[in-house]
Structure formats: structure tokens, C-alpha cells
Amino acid sequence: MALQDLIDLVQHLTQQVTVLAWALFLLTWSIGWTLRGAPIPLSKLKRTGSSFIEDSVWAALWLALGSTIFTLITYIIKIITG
């Protein structure tokens, strides 16, 4: 496997992981707000919605950190290969 192939693989994986993480974040966030704002008198359901919102905020943090790490790895590989 050539070094350029490795760079392309890391970039491709970075893109796939980032897209998947953002999709999961948006899905969780939208479900959370839907459950929290639902006109249903079940407080447990509303707490679940709030929990989803909190979890999606944590997911956004980890998404940002993970994307940064993957970008840094790609940058280092590009520097090494010239």
C-alpha cells in the first residue's frame, strides 16, 4: 500500500466518521426536542427528551474533538510524505 493510498484512506475515513457523527447528532437532537416539546402530559417522556438534548450536546463536543484529531493525523501524514 503506497503512502498516498494511506493518506487517501485516512481522509476518506475522516469524512465518513464526521458525516456519520453529525447525522447521529442531528437525529438525537431532533428527537430530543420533539419529545421535550410534545404536548403529552408524561413528564418521564419530557425528561427523556431533555436527556437526548444533553447527550447531543456532548456528542457535538466529541464530534468536534474527534474531527480535529483526524484532521491533525491527516495533516501530519501529508507533512511526512511531502
Summarize pLDDT for 57-66 with one digit per residue, the tens.
788 778 778 8
From residue 40, alpha-carbon distances to 31, 36, 46, 50 in Å are 14, 9, 8, 14
Contact 58, 82 (CB under 8 A): no
Regions in the chain scoring below 50 on pLDDT: none
Signed CA dihedral, 43, 40, 37, 61: sign only: positive
pTM: 0.60
